[in-house]
Structure formats: structure tokens, C-alpha cells
A and B are shown apart, each in its own frame.
Chain A
Amino acid sequence: MATEDERYRQSSQFRLWSFSPTSLRELRVKTNDLAKQQISPRFAPDAQPEFLTPAEETMLVQFFTTELIRAAQFCELPTEIRSTAAVFFRRFYITNSVMTYPPTELLKTSLFFGCKAEGYYIRLAKLAEMFPNTTSEQILAGEFLLCQGIRFAFDVRHPFRALEGAVLELRKRLPEEEGRVAKAHALARDILKFSPLLTDAYFHYTPSQIMMAALLMVDKELVDMLIPVSPPGDDGQHEASHAEMREKIMKTIESCRSMLEKEPPQRMKDHWETPDLVKSMKPLRKKLQKCRDTDRADLVALQRARREQATTKVKKPTPQSDGAVFGDAVEARDPKRRKLEAANDLFGPTL
């Protein structure tokens, strides 16, 4: 077995974020169920809201992914960073529900953290300025949440470099057809910038499979050239196993292609950015508005509450124990401490 395959299997992308279609579906259902269970008690038994279905959640995540892509383009972020941010965003909503945490906020957090994870240190305040009604605090409030949601796997493997490699190889083999290769390169790159982010491609396929699928969409013969029918320089001995392996690979690439074809790059303009689409999203967003976890919709307040909870939890036992050991000297500090605790109430009951 090729060592490159082994190496890919050690990556966090494979270990933590690759699933079969069935298990991915199960995860989404489970996430949706848990969210409903948690939100439901916040409403009176006779006034239960209508919750989003897993399919509707997926639809919304897809919609907000296009928003994220547009925001990244607006901020002029490089392609790889934009893709990393989008993958983070989609991973987050596999184990967290759209009803629990607001995607409009997580979208910005994903962009910010995507930059950080790629070592592109954009200033937080500079990013916040780019968005209407957004403070640095709002972007930051979801950061830890996002990190936990993506299981602290910050390295995302994209198919872009694979494409560059394939193009180099093709140029070598087809020195006469520079134009054809260049055209395939540009078209495939456009696909990779959009289609895998809007579909579940990253969850089911490896970067090289995604790259080959994109190439298959633009020029099938080039793929045949890269994955030849008979093994190069073979004496016929391994032909059978090669054919078997090739068939398996082609089948995988084909299925990836049909996934990517559901969201070709022109869909951005022809579908996602049309007024009709925005209108059609309205009922869903309204539904979300009504059934969401109101306690966790405000990430800034939530973050503050969690911080408070952590600090008061540590401090609480100290007054008695300190007092017992040190007597009055410590008791004198107590009023201040009480005041502090009273201040915490500000955030306590309202939530």
C-alpha cells in the first residue's frame, strides 16, 4: 500500500472528520435531536415551537456557507483560507445545531479562526470593521466554541495543491497542448473553490479524489492520462490487480463527481445569489428565529456567563476555609468579595 495513503490516514482530517454517508446522516440526526431536547423545556408544554428538521438544518448551513464565501471574497482572503474557514464552519454544524448557535455569528468566527489556523494574522478589529454591526467581541465570543466543535483539528487538507501537481504532470506529458491543460486547470480550480465546500465532498473523499473529480468534470481524457488503464512499464503480472484497483478508484471519483455536479460554480450566481433564493430562505430563517435556543443565541453574553461561572466556582469555597485558617485578616476582604458575587448576579438570573 502506498505510504502516502498511510500518511493521509494519520491526518486529523481522516481520523476525525471523514465519514460514510450513513454515519454522517446519523450524526446530523443525533445533533438535531439533542438540540430539540434541550430547547424544548424552555417553552411551555402547550406552546412548543416547530423545530427545524435535519434536512432543513443542512439547507441552512449550505446557505450560510455561501454567505461565508461571499464575506471572504469581500475581505479579500486567499482561496485556501476561505476554504479552511468554510470547512471549519461545516464541521462545526455536524455536532452542533443551527438552532443552538447562530450561524450568522459562527460564520464570522470561522473566517477569523480560519485565518489564524492558516497563520494569516489579520487583526481582529480590522475584520470586525468589514462587517456591519459587528464588534471584535462578537467575533471572538464564538472562538473557543468553534475550536471545541471542530475537535481541535486545525489542519485542513485542500485539493488545490493536488491540482497544481496534476497540472505539472500533464504539462510534462502533453507539451503540445498547453492551451488545453491551462483551460482545464482554470476550470477545475473554479470548481474546487466552490463545489466541495457546498457539498459533503470533504467528509467523504480525499483531496486527490476531489481534485480528480473536478478534472473529470472538465476533461475526462486528462484523468485517463493520469490514471492509466494499464500500469506503466508493467510486464502483465500485476495487470489484474491494477485493473481492479483502477476500477475502484474510478468509481469513487465518479461518485465524487456526481456530488460536485450538484453544486457547480455557476450555481453561486444562477442560484444562491438570486432574489428568489433569498426569498425562499425566509420561511426557514423565520422558523429558526422561533425555535432557536434563546439562551445561547447571544454568544457574547453566553461567553461572559461561562467565564463568570468558571471563576465563581473556583472562588466560592475560599471565604470559609481562608477565614477558618487565617481569621479576621481575611474576613476583612469579604465584603469586596460579596460585592463581586453580587455583580455576577447581573448575568446570572436573566439568562
Chain B
Amino acid sequence: MALSPVVTTTSSASNQPLENLQTLRPVSSPLKNLASGSGQTSSNGTPKPALAPAAAPTSQTLPPTLDLAEQMNEEEKRKYVKGKKLGEGTYAVVFLGHLRSNPAARVAIKKIKVQKEYTEGMAPDAVRELKHLQELQHPNIISLLSVFSSKDQNLNLVLEYLPLGDLELLIRDTDNVRYGAADIKAWMGMLTRAVWFCHENFVLHRDIKPNNLLIAADGEVKLADFGLARSFADPHRHMTSNVITRWYRPPELLFGARYYSGAVDVWSVGTVFAELILRAPYMPGNNELDQIKMICESIGTPTEDNWPGVTRLPEYTVPGQHPTRGRDWYEMRFGIVGTDGVDLLIKTLALNPQKRITAREMLKHRWWHSEPKPTRKDDLPRKDVGAGEDKMGMDLKRRPGMVADDDRGAKVARKLDFGQR
């Protein structure tokens, strides 16, 4: 399928280094790989019966003590070699790894820890992440190359290796990293295509923010961390409003809306857009009330006039009346992306989700075609590999919905729920 319906990309090299990896995803008949693989001891955990002959697993075949399901798991596991640890948090440990058959093909292995405090089995974050990454394949979405379980019953996600850190790293490093309107346009193009693809596949990401946008070796931005994602709900089935990291959370969620749409992600995209321009979080509220206050001040107070029905949302409260900001006000602050860029920003930050631009409409916006053309991905500003590698470790080990690293996450009790009944 097409990568996006419109949008000009000044893409250059078509030979992605990861292309050979992409094809490694398990395909069609699971019987295909059964014959190969080399000897390993049993991982099924059943203590061997006394009568069983002590077969020395030296041959190239898998031990016969494995069920078919276990053999398949073993096959996947054996395709990769685990390397050094890139980061460790309470949620996951991230390792560098490579293909056994080709040591030059690097991967990141994210081992999800068993969550002791969650007593209901496999953590919902892990289930969501796996569920959606299994289905979404797009150049701007992190690729899940494989999944396997290790002996200690931990989940291992083999993800594509993205060594150049994330967008947050670039935004914050104002001393060393310079970027301009063409670079912002290129990054926004990649982010918008990622979100468009999610929505096209009926998936809401619900945690879009700069440190979930990782950067590949060739400069391509990839949306990661699907731990809060969900499929579009059927009508009348409500969803939790406690999603999306606060600074990037749209007003309808702050007001406790239980029925919402892709517009929630578009708002986050708008706040990321603003952050790319300002090089600082646009609306960094200290708590939810403060967040609403900042939205009212920066954009305007949601009222029945500009958003019919808003006062009936479960948690509607506003600190005071601020007029909706006019175009001039935006031009003054965000003018570096040009009039067209400002127009797109205003449309993504529409208070009323019904009036907010959709991802598909975003891709059709004239900004992409106006001057300057977006930077080619190889020419985008970047950090060096070392810094990026650590950052990837940090990003991947994080729990979804967290602003910073685990230390901070541990202190601020986790406020995101999973809609427990």
C-alpha cells in the first residue's frame, strides 16, 4: 500500500540498510523453518522424566523435547544474538543485538520485565504494544522484527535499531544542534505520515511526544512506544480519558471525554509541532488543572460558542475566560514556519475536536508544497551515535505515558489507568 496519499518527500537513497531485516518477520507457514536451527537444551521447563534418554543436543536440530510451539519460539530466538545492555528501567531492559546470520545487521532487544505490582498477569502495556506493532508496518513506525519468550518467561521484542536518539534530544540541545524550517517540515512530514498510517489502520497511539519519536541511522523518524495504543472503539463503547502525557493531552481528554477519535493524536502532533519551533514544551502544565489553564491562555477558553457541547463533558472546568487567539498572535510566535505552516499549526490545535484537522487532511495541506522544500533525510541535523544509543535505551525501557526517565516516573505515582472495571 502507499506510504501516504500525498506529501512530497525529498527522499534520496532508496536502499534502506534495514530492508533485509524487514523481510525477516515471520511469514506464512510456520512449518517453513522447522528443520534448521542448532542444538539447545529444553526450554519447556518440564523436568525430564527418568526414562528419557539423555540426548546430547549437539546436532543441528532442535531437541525433540520441544512442542511445535516451543520449537517455533526457539527458532525466532536463535535468529538473534543479544549484546550489551543499552538501558534498564522498571518496565523493560533494552539490549543491543544483531542477526546471527549477519552481525552487521543490528537490532534492539527489549525485554519486558514481569511486573510484580501488577497481579493480573501480562501487563496491559506489553499486550497493547505487541498487538499493534504486530500489525503496523510503515517506514515511520518502529518495526517489530520478532517476538520470542526466554526461559524465565519474559517477553522479548526484537525492534529495529534506531541509533540516533529521539526528537527530544535534538530539540533540547540548543547549544549544539541547529535546525530550521526545512528540517521541521521534514520531521513533521514523517510524524504526520506515521499518525496517518495508524489512523488508517484504526489505531489510536495516545502517547505522541518528542521522546517517542526515534531516529534511524538514515535520519528517518519513527513513531515508537505503543503501550497506550488501542483500536478505534465501536460506537457506544467508552474509552479511558486518562491517556497521553499531560503536556500533549488535548482538552477533550482533560475534560474527561469517554468517546473520542483520532483527533486526540492530532492535538499531540500540534503540540510537538509547536515544540519543534519553540524548542521548549509549548504548554508544560504542572497538573491537570494547570494544563487546562495553559490551554485557555495559549489557545483560548473552550466555550459553548467555539465548541458546542463542551460544558457537558464530565470534568469540564475552566479557570477564566480567554478569547481565542488570532492568527497574528500565532504568526508572532511561530512565524519561522511561514504563513502556511502557521495555518497548519492552528488547525491541529483547534479546541473543538470535530473541527480539528485530520491526519489525512494534514497530508493534503499546502504547507508541504510551499517553500522551503523539506530537508532530505540524510541531511537532517543529528546527534552522534553514542548519545543516541543511550537515548534509545532510555526511551525503549520507559513505561508508556511517562514524561521523563524512570526515577521521575517512580516519584510521580503513575496516573494513567487502563480503564479497569
Chain A residues near B (Cβ < 8 Å):
3, 6-7, 10-12, 15-16, 18-19, 23, 26-27, 30-31, 34-35, 37-38, 41-42, 44, 92, 95-97, 100, 112-113, 116-117, 119-124, 140, 143-144, 147-149, 151-155, 161, 293, 295-296, 302, 305-307, 309-311, 313-314, 348, 351
Q: List 8 A-B contacts (CB under 8 A).
A: A35-B67, A42-B49, A113-B121, A119-B124, A123-B420, A144-B149, A147-B122, A351-B47
Name B32's closest neighbour in chain A (CB-CB): A23
> A305 near B47 (CB under 8 angstroms)?
yes
What is the size category of the interface that chain B forms with chain A?
35 or more
A75 to B409, CA, bound (A): 37
> B124 near A116 (CB under 8 angstroms)?
yes
Min C-beta distance of A122 to chain B, whole Å: 6
Q: Which residues of A are found within 8 Å of B64, using beta-carbon distances?
A: 34, 37-38
A155 to B29, CA, bound (A): 18
Q: Which residues of A are found within 8 Å of B230, using beta-carbon distances?
A: 119
> A23 near B68 (CB under 8 angstroms)?
no
Name A164's closest neighbour in chain B (CB-CB): B234
Instruction: Indicate whether A34 sits within 8 Å of B67 (C-beta atoms), given known contacts A10-B137, A148-B149.
Output: yes
A148 to B134, CA, bound (A): 14
> B47 near A124 (CB under 8 angstroms)?
no
> B51 near A95 (CB under 8 angstroms)?
no
Q: Which residues of B are found within 8 Å of A44, using beta-carbon distances?
A: 51
Q: Which residues of B are found within 8 Å of A112, using beta-carbon distances?
A: 121
A253 to B243, CA, bound (A): 42
Query: Which single member of A11, A42, A96, A309 contacts B45 (CB below 8 Å)?
Result: A309
A310 to B45, CA, bound (A): 9
B104-125: CB near A (< 8 Å → 1, else 0) gives 0000000000000001111010
Instruction: Indicate whether A155 sits within 8 Å of B25 (C-beta atoms), given known contacts A119-B230, A144-B149, A307-B153.
Output: no
Name A38's closest neighbour in chain B (CB-CB): B65
Q: Which residues of B are found within 8 Å of A314, using beta-carbon distances?
A: 152
> A155 near B120 (CB under 8 angstroms)?
no
A31 to B70, CA, bound (A): 11
A11 to B25, CA, bound (A): 11
Q: Is B412 an interface residue (CB 8 A)?
A: no
Name B138's closest neighbour in chain A (CB-CB): A10
> A18 near B68 (CB under 8 angstroms)?
no
> B420 near A310 (CB under 8 angstroms)?
no
Q: Which residues of A are found within 8 Å of B127, using beta-carbon distances?
A: 116-117, 154
Instruction: Indicate whether A3 sits within 8 Å of B421 (C-beta atoms), given known contacts A117-B127, A151-B30.
Output: no
A309 to B70, CA, bound (A): 17
> B134 near A155 (CB under 8 angstroms)?
yes
A3 to B197, CA, bound (A): 13
Name A80's closest neighbour in chain B (CB-CB): B234
> B1 near A3 (CB under 8 angstroms)?
yes
Ordered nearest first, which 10 A-B pairs have the shortest CB separation?
A310-B152, A306-B45, A154-B131, A95-B69, A95-B68, A152-B147, A3-B1, A41-B51, A12-B134, A143-B121
> A149 near B201 (CB under 8 angstroms)?
no
Residue of A30, A34, A161 ringed by the most chain B CB atoms within 10 A: A34
Min C-beta distance of B181 to chain A, whole Å: 33
Q: Which residues of B are found within 8 Å of A348, using beta-carbon distances?
A: 47
Q: Is B135 an interface residue (CB 8 A)?
A: yes
Instruction: Indicate whether A121 sits within 8 Å of B418 (C-beta atoms), given known contacts A41-B52, A148-B69, A151-B30.
Output: yes
> B67 near A38 (CB under 8 angstroms)?
yes
Q: Which residues of A are found within 8 Å of B68, using beta-carbon distances?
A: 27, 30-31, 34, 95-96
Q: Is B205 an interface residue (CB 8 A)?
A: no
A122 to B51, CA, bound (A): 43
Known: A148-B149, A149-B69. 17 other contacts (CB 8 A): A7-B201, A27-B31, A37-B64, A38-B67, A41-B49, A42-B49, A96-B67, A96-B69, A116-B127, A140-B121, A151-B30, A152-B147, A152-B155, A155-B131, A302-B46, A305-B47, A310-B151
